[in-house]
Structure 1
């Protein structure tokens, strides 16, 4: 029997997209989005239905929103060449046809552009916290775009790695399709009802409005909390809940990227804004890899 290709799997799984979205749409809480992301999130719904194209990342405007602008990546290649583990990295140096992310050369291999950025994040987190990639057992990723970061950890991690994503429902279903096409639907757990828990050893995708109400244990007891721009772009009250009420969901390590200024509350009252930079610093964070212009806004914390 011939092995199922990514395109074959895409054709089969795309038929489930509309029903899965109908099941999860009830958890779309617009008040948990900044004005900046309200329109973007609903544009994701238009992209999603009835199903995304096989090369969906090639759509105008989406590439920048999802962080796949090739022009930004060249500055991290030198850093990766100096810091990568060849044996560990080999599994991540592949080309995925699904998604239509442009290709480049990295460490002597042809890869999708996004591999460069997400490898960089994974290695920076490992280097600055002193915890190797394969020793991380559980990750909570707040806002994961189309799923590029879990793709890297899944390929470089271990079979028991629990990777949980919190995101807005239409994006959750996009992530489910993307990651299921790459790894098979048995590797991905999309939670569409209350009362379910993250499954150990899987990529779990959960609406952020549900995540805020779930126990740390139900989320896989995350050790590493990741958010590359998404948390910084949330309303202040959501950031405050994550940082203060949930204490980063019990994570002992942070990888936070802050792009630009924090988003003020919808009412425009700056007194109600939340200083995420100060919160990460008080966690034990520090600004990392300042010499790299590509991502001088990365903050690494450990406690």
Structure 2
């Protein structure tokens, strides 16, 4: 599929001649990344937002599949007790080892729980409702904020990128994800109430940087569920760009019913409807993150 992807980059040589994208900035296409000669160690990216329904899991699934399509070895970590990422990739989560078991026994080999998805180059560390008990079990553990980092350390050398799909909260599980991560990607719905929690999330990231993980950085804010037909969507995106500037990714993910349809089928949208604008947007997001240096 990668060789079929049409580059959207303008032939113009001057940035001023590039088309203007939804963010109000020149709309680059970003070249298809060159294949890698070797794999690892992985850069770990947490997809985080304490507000639910903003597209974290959809982005985790489809960004992982897009990076895999470009030859990157990807591990998608389902770190939400709802297990939506696992279900969205067609992974069985009943009576199998999950990330919860690894958190309780950090000496256990993570490879026992990792499952190969139907998408080449994409593996999954699944989760189920058992994970909801993790915070209770871990609260008295020494260095409880670093447990996920210790788990992922065993397999980081085998992947190019590890994506952690966080639950919609700022509790101990999310702090574990931020402590393990090198970067944070914040999916942000183009809706007013989605803006309200971003400052709190940024504050939490700053606290983690200060106290637990000095190397963590903000990889970007990703506008999701964008509907150019509504003034509200356009105004919210404009306010996000005004507030966060170049931290807002150029790629914007539009609203479409194809996402739930793909989830029901248990495959990424890049496989379910590869020519659809939403699939192309996630491929473009993968290219943008490679161009920004967030992914090898």
Scaled by the length of structure 2, what TM-score is found?
Answer: 0.34
Q: Which has the higher helix share?
A: 1
With CA pairs under 8 Å and 6+ residues apart, which has the higher RCO, 1 or 2? 2
What TM-score, normalized by structure 1, do the two folds share?
0.33
